[in-house]
Structure 1
Amino acid sequence: MADYKLGKLINEGKTKKIYELLNDATLCLLKSKDRITAGDGVRSHDLEGKAEISTSTTVKVFRLLNQAGVKTAYVKSADPKCFIAKKCDMVPIEWVTRRLATGSFLKRHPGVPECYRFNPPLQETFYKDDANHDPQWSDQQIISAGFEIGGIKITKDEVDIMKRMTLVVFEILERAWTVRDSALIDMKIEFGIDSDGEILVADIIDSDSWRLWPSGDKKLMKDKQVYRNLATVTQQNLETIKRNFKWVEEQLDYVIEAPSPLVVIFMGSPSDEAYCQEIAKHATALGLNPQLRVCSAHKGTLDTVNILAEYEGSGENVVLIAVAGRSNGLGPVLSGNTVLPVINCPPLKSDNIERSVWSSLDVPSGLGCTTVVYPEAAALAAAQIHAMHNHLIWARLRAKQLANFLSLKRADSKLRKS
């Protein structure tokens, strides 16, 4: 925190304080408290060590989201109890996503069995109002409230954007927790609008924010519901809750990092290197590890098969991309000699596309190599294959889909307002 000078207290909640930073008006500092609460603050206890656990949990979650490409207010860690974030005007709505029916949903919807599965996940919104126990609001109520936050009026467009971002955040974290054999049952997040008028995932995401069941077993829950369920609260209960929260924080170490899976780009000629570098650029942006190799299925068949054997015997998950035009024997030869996925991406030119593409499309029977005609498409296809077993690649793809949605939504909104 030596680089930042604290200013006045901007806001104080039940479990955190927010301070302005004198040397950067666009940032703020969030400091967690050693405090646990439930029932809109009706139940409240000191819990030494919770602030550090909560901050570390939040930092790891936001790092994961930022790495995937979801825009958040998080900037960087400051000290064990604090982190720096973009200063936002907060939208007074809690955005809840549910995969399984439990908790308050069952009380509001009698007859629905516990663990009823929502596909797609169910989304609900609640107006932040402790005095009235955070009443549930519809989209129409949020739009009709006429909120103007950070100079932005909250219309249907903004509601649609926040709903889509909420869903993507949930799905990314749900997928990440499967790495630790834990089921993300439901969670809540909040949004803020920064000084540039951008909607960001903001506030804190920690064990107060979700229900998390290891092995999908409610009896093993590690979240704040354990505290809510207590008839009376003893010091021993509080120590158990702190151990649960610490377990969650530690498990996140295993999901915020993952090796970059390998994509090998075979080119039939050194003249195709620039085209292959374009594929590699897109692959790197998606979190893949591209390697370039030169070999000719026609002129050096044995060498091609020997190079292929290197990757088959590596024990790694590998996707192959074959870059060969005109008479493409490279992709089919690779596909005919491996069970690794093979993607053809011929370096087509305007004067040969109608002739050359057929050598990649019209392959012999029994071969499963697919064909795409753009470098980005080749990288995306490889990423989709790797995403089946790599949650971080899956997260980047989901965030890329979100970025496409946001781009179209904003362009449409701008056009309607012009």
Structure 2
Amino acid sequence: MNTLNHFATPQLELLHRGKVRDSYRAPSGERLIVVTDRLSAFDSVLETPVAHKGAVLNGLATFWFDKTRHIIPNHVISLLDPNVTLSKEAEPIRVEMIVRNYITGSMLRGYQKGQRTFSGVTVPDGLTKHQQFPAPIVTPTTKEESDREITPENLVAEGWVAQELYEQMRIKSLELFNFASAWMAERGIILVDTKYEFGLLNGELILIDEIHTPDSSRFWSADDYARNPEAVEQMDKEYVRQWLIQNKVDGQYPRTLTPEVSQEASRRYLDIYERITGAPLPTGNETTTGGDVRTRLVGNLVRAGIMKDAWVNIVMGSPADKEHCQKIRSFFEDYNLFTQLRVTSAHKNGEEIAGMAEVWNNSVEPGVIIAVAGLSNGLGGALAANVNVPVISCPPWKDFAELSANLNSSVIMPSATPNLTVVRPDNAAQAAVRALNLPRLREQLSREIKQTKAKLRAADAELRTL
């Protein structure tokens, strides 16, 4: 399936990996937010991604951030890809402002058990399932391992937020909610409840994270609600939740979805996007959601100057090999590739390889590893056995005696350990460039081969005249 279930790259610093969103540090210092197609339900991320979900969430958030700039500024700088937003780095306020206009979900469950006060807001007796409140209410929670209800007074007393700042957040949350509710009502959608997150940028309150998406909000069809308020179903992923409930085995929810359920979930996400924005999710070219997701995403990030289209990691077994590694690295200067030096010993801290391999094996762009280890080369073999990209060993050597001692350990490898060995640093770099197999690199290599041939012909012609 053409989905983005995982985003990884050795080119960018990972700041946070959430259930759906991954945050990276952009080269310019801003935050890069990648919205994947992962789906979370019942506090668990399913193994089956949902096609277009990430683009829908990111597209809707961008849509609403743009629509609500007159109410409050936000962190968005630009949409780099349907799944990626470049945003300003703000200081997050660790409070979720939840606005509710109907009694449902966890609040309804608490109400049915006798609870009447929620985050300091008291609601009357006699409310029925899914009944609308006279006016929207704000029920804040803390942003901790497990979010908890808290009164505004306790938020201030515990140091989560200052009183004046909380009041700003409360007012802005209600303004945002009322604006979106009116917009959606015109399109037959009820905004039931939602959450807002805020941050500070140069001392100014701004809106961050996401806004009015199916993952942060609850939507109902106005027609369904009018027919039977108590039986109305949440739009979007409630369909998946119900399927999971119906297919529990021994009290455990399924970890995977059937193709039919995944496709229907995708259709529903696309439908809510079109109903809210008035246009279908764009498809069909490199800047929208057409084509292979990873290829499109890498292309857009390369064009934005965020990353290169491929990487080479040069891994040394000891810092003593740094000079040799830098020599190899110098041969990549003309190929516009991301190169990085790493150090780890297969014998002394080989456990570090697993963490590196996690990134390399899941990178959205192609890559090659060059292993540099002298004498007993366990590093090349350890890398080759654990990664799904080419591994080329280029052992350091001072003389032929040292080279002979090293070659045996570099060349003789066990099965399922496809480590290649190249002795010359320049040839190791050339082999890596060829292993990447990118069209632009192949074209460049072809030009270089022609230039070499032309030089040889010219030299031959000159010698023949002597």
**TM-score calculated relative to the size of structure 1:** 0.53
* Whole-Å separation in 2 of the counterparts to 1:65 and 1:171: 11
| Structural mapping, 1:4-403, within 5 Å | 7-23=12-28, 25=29, 27-41=30-44, 45-66=48-69, 68-110=70-112, 112-130=127-145, 132=146, 134-147=147-160, 154-194=161-201, 196-205=202-211, 206-218=213-225, 219=232, 221-230=234-243, 231=245, 232=247, 233-254=257-278
3-state SS of the aligned residue for 2:72?
A: coil
Residue 119 to residue 89, structure 1, CA distance change in 2 (3 Å): same
* Whole-Å separation in 1 of the counterparts to 2:179 and 2:19: 28
* Whole-Å separation in 2 of the counterparts to 1:42 and 1:112: 34
3-state SS of the aligned residue for 1:70?
A: coil
CA drift of 1:214 comes to: 1.9
* Whole-Å separation in 2 of the counterparts to 1:43 and 1:94: 24
**Where do 5+ consecutive residues of structure 1 fail to align?**
1-5, 148-153, 256-418
* Whole-Å separation in 2 of the counterparts to 1:123 and 1:78: 33
* Whole-Å separation in 2 of the counterparts to 1:126 and 1:45: 30
Residue 85 to residue 215, structure 1, CA distance change in 2 (3 Å): same
Which residue identity lines up with residue 171 of structure 2 in the other structure?
R
3-state SS of the aligned residue for 1:94?
A: strand
* Whole-Å separation in 2 of the counterparts to 1:44 and 1:159: 38
Residue 161 to residue 57, structure 1, CA distance change in 2 (3 Å): same
* Whole-Å separation in 2 of the counterparts to 1:137 and 1:44: 33
CA drift of 1:42 comes to: 6.4
The residue number in structure 2 matching 1:386 is: none
* Whole-Å separation in 1 of the counterparts to 2:148 and 2:25: 30
1:185-227 CA-partner distances (Å, limit 9, x unpaired): 1111211222x12221110222111111122525453233333
The structure whose residues are more often strand, as a share, is 1
Which residue identity lines up with residue 49 of structure 2 in the other structure?
D
Which residue identity lines up with residue 20 of structure 1 in the other structure?
R
CA drift of 1:7 comes to: 4.0
* Whole-Å separation in 2 of the counterparts to 1:197 and 1:44: 40
CA drift of 1:251 comes to: 2.1
Which residue identity lines up with residue 27 of structure 2 in the other structure?
L
Larger Rg: 2
Which residue identity lines up with residue 177 of structure 2 in the other structure?
F
1:31-85 CA-partner distances (Å, limit 9, x unpaired): 101101023336664223221121111111111112x342211222111110121
CA drift of 1:180 comes to: 0.7
Residue 43 to residue 94, structure 1, CA distance change in 2 (3 Å): farther
Residue 168 to residue 235, structure 1, CA distance change in 2 (3 Å): same
* Whole-Å separation in 1 of the counterparts to 2:223 and 2:77: 32
Decide whether the 8 Å contact of 1:181 with 1:215 is kept in 2: yes
* Whole-Å separation in 2 of the counterparts to 1:59 and 1:158: 25
* Whole-Å separation in 1 of the counterparts to 2:55 and 2:68: 20
The residue number in structure 2 matching 1:273 is: none
1:5-54 CA-partner distances (Å, limit 9, x unpaired): x741222211011122222x3x3111101101023336664223221121
1:224-270 CA-partner distances (Å, limit 9, x unpaired): 33333331353322222221111111123239xxxxxxxxxxxxxxx
3-state SS of the aligned residue for 1:9?
A: strand
* Whole-Å separation in 1 of the counterparts to 2:45 and 2:87: 29
The residue number in structure 1 matching 2:252 is: none
**TM-score calculated relative to the size of structure 2:** 0.48
Aligned length: 240
* Whole-Å separation in 2 of the counterparts to 1:220 and 1:136: 25
* Whole-Å separation in 1 of the counterparts to 2:264 and 2:57: 15
**Where do 5+ consecutive residues of structure 2 fail to align?**
1-10, 113-125, 226-231, 248-256, 280-466
Decide whether the 8 Å contact of 1:35 with 1:48 is kept in 2: no
The residue number in structure 2 matching 1:306 is: none
Decide whether the 8 Å contact of 1:38 with 1:44 is kept in 2: no
